[in-house]
Amino acid sequence: DAIANQIAAGEVVQRPASVVKELLENSVDAGSTKIQLIVSDAGKNLIQVIDDGKGMSETDARMSFERHATSKIRKSEDLFNILTMGFRGEALASIAAVARVELKTKTTDAELGSSIIIEASEVKSQGPDSMNQGTTLSVKNLFYNVPARRNFLKSNSVEMRHIIDEFQRISLANPQIGFSLIQNDKEVYNAPAGKLSQRIVHLFGKNYQTQLITCQEETEWFKVTGYIGKPEHAKKTRGEQFFFVNNRFIKSSYLNHAVQGAYEGLIKDDQHPFYTLFIEMDPARIDINVHPTKTEIKFEDERSVYGIIKSAVKQALGAHNV
């Protein structure tokens, strides 16, 4: 019922950026080659995600808003997703409980697509619609029916910062997909599909073309790849530091410390290097005792992971200095 939906929604949808994260991840999962994010008023009035992915049949479109309807664990990687990425099969239902949602979607072989409008979990209209293959999800007036939440939202600049964080994380993890972001009718990012280094340049600026150092190390059960920034480009802020585990963004002050440690003597204590590092490992080696909505995770063998990361970064820096 409506109240239960609203309570569950609070777990998944905390702010506009939570909606952005869920919608972008769905578009990535749908095998899209291009994903466009449009926001106005820092997502408070509109969050729209347009993709060219596989789309949904009419039945699936309707089902996608049913809680748990899609909950399924397909492989061990999914288990890891549950642990780190929130509840599965809950996102659309939760979003639709606290906003006005319009879904337009079409699969390749369908002649017509379908369109559904849902307000506060109630289907307002549903019918066939002509459109291209893919899915467009529009989320309007977020929290219009939960004034306490709506009032709790921060200023547009703070909420927009959170949205951009999610956009950067997901587009860094998927450089093979083209991503664009339009904010209040202005194009803020337009990153075509390409290599990771090109994605970094599109997101953080042309000067990154000359400041990236390749970082790579592999053991029997652990692999790290990606880029670190040259020491001379370290900044006073730590906004441009990204760790991904099995292609999902994670926060880890512990691993951050490992990287910072590798730069010792090369940068000042109050400076922070750029890095985008991808860890691949067996999800079974990740401690499951972590709250599902958090991006923090714990490794079973934390010390080894710390050591490998630090030595990988040190080695990359050493090779660069030769």
Q: Which does 292 bind (CB under 5 to 8 A by kind): Mg ion, ligand ADP, none?
A: none
Q: Which does 110 bind (CB under 5 to 8 A by kind): ligand ADP, Mg ion, none?
A: none
| Cα within 13 Å of Cα(204), Cβ side | 27
Going edge to edge, which strands form the sheet with 186-191?
Answer: 122-129, 113-119, 100-106, 134-140, 46-51, 34-40, 178-183, 186-191
Q: Which does 58 bind (CB under 5 to 8 A by kind): Mg ion, ligand ADP, none?
A: none
Footprint on residues 62-101 left by ligand ADP (CB under 6 A): 64, 70, 88-92
Footprint on residues 226-245 left by Mg ion (CB under 5 A): none
Footprint on residues 19-48 left by Mg ion (CB under 5 A): 26
Q: Residues 240, 228: contact at Cβ < 8 Å?
A: no
Question: Judged by CB, which is closer to ligand ADP: 273, or 283?
Answer: 283
Which distant-in-sequence residues (6+ apart) come within 8 Å of 86 by Cβ? 11, 12, 22, 292, 293
Question: Judged by CB, which is closer to ligand ADP: 29, or 187?
Answer: 29
Distances in Å between the Cα of 83 and the Cα atoms of 202, 217, 261, 290, 296 are 31, 26, 28, 7, 10
Helix, strand, coil shares, percent, the chain, to 5:
40, 30, 30
Count how many residues are written for the chain: 322
State yes or no: residue 30 binds ligand ADP (CB under 6 A).
yes
Smallest distance, Mg ion to C-beta of residue 138, A: 16
Footprint on residues 57-116 left by Mg ion (CB under 5 A): 91
DSSP classification of residue 101: E
Q: Looking at 46-54, 199-207, 240-248, 285-293, which segment touches ligand ADP (CB under 6 A)?
A: 46-54
Considering only residues 5, 6, 114, 135, which one is a binding residue for ligand ADP as defined by CB under 6 A? 135
Side chain identity at residue 118, one-letter code:
I
Considering only residues 5, 6, 18, 26, which one is a binding residue for ligand ADP as defined by CB under 6 A? 26
Q: Which does 92 bind (CB under 5 to 8 A by kind): Mg ion, ligand ADP, none?
A: ligand ADP
State both tokens at 289.
């005792």
Q: Residues 149, 172: contact at Cβ < 8 Å?
A: no
Tell me which H or E stretch contains 214: strand 212-218
Smallest distance, ligand ADP to C-beta of residue 84, A: 13
Question: Judged by CB, which is closer to ligand ADP: 73, or 319?
Answer: 73
Smallest distance, ligand ADP to C-beta of residue 147, A: 25
Residues near ligand ADP (CB under 6 A)? 22, 26-27, 30, 51, 53-56, 64, 70, 88-92, 135
Residues near Mg ion (CB under 5 A)? 26, 91
